Amino acid sequence: MPNPDQIDFRISKKKEALIFAITAIFFVVSAGIVYVRTMLFEQKSLIVGGVGEFITVSGMAFFGIYMIIMGVELFRMGVVVSVGRRGIFDRRVSTDWISWDKIHNVRVMGIKQRGLIFRLNQNAGSALPVRKIAVNVVRVSGSGAPRELWIEADRLEGGSKALRDAVLHFHGIINDPWER
């Protein structure tokens, strides 16, 4: 039975599996280029230190690492984002709930990758439960206190519209430039 005090979002396994499959295809193509070129055209086809060698080996390394990261994400279980009367809790970004009284307003951002930007009150201070590793999703002021918090919604079940609707239900202050 759903909880009327909060709405929980999980990672969309279909989207994660699709990203994993695309990454695996690019990894196989990069590895295939190295293998086929060295087998068909002897060792001299990929010049040591050449651009072709650099691109294919870099592609194998990049897509191999990203494939491992996506594989871990694919098996992540449980709730990732919760929106409720107490506030919002994104387990990728924060360690606890960020209450609504610390949030000034919410904006929908992004064209290709959509999400919500939570503009924090000036008096929210640096005592917010934000993970240290979440630097890429938190804008800070000159004093080091968080000002804005980005929550990516495309990879969640229901996508950005479902997250937006949940925030609108519990918080009500939202600015969506795409609704105009």
| Domain end point (choices 54, 74, 94) | 74
Residues 80-99 pLDDT 10s: 889 998 888 888 878 888 88
- Structural domain count of the chain: 2
Tokens of 133: 């590793």
- pLDDT, tens digit, 9 for 90 and up, residues 102-152: 887 888 776 666 788 777 776 665 666 666 655 545 555 555 556 777 788
Give the chain's end-to-end CA distance (angstroms, integer). Answer: 35
Range of the domain at 54: 12-74
Phi, psi (deg, nearest 5) at residue 107: -125, 145
Element (H, E) at 25: helix 13-40
* 111 shares a domain with 164: yes
Q: pTM above 0.75?
A: no
| 104 and 166 housed in the same domain | yes
Longest dimension (CA), the chain: 67
Cα three-residue angle 54-60-67, rounded to 5 degrees:
150
Question: How much helix, strand and coil, in percent to the nearest 5, is found in the chain?
Answer: 45, 25, 30
- Look at residues 59, 74, 89 and tell me which one is the last residue of a structural domain: 74
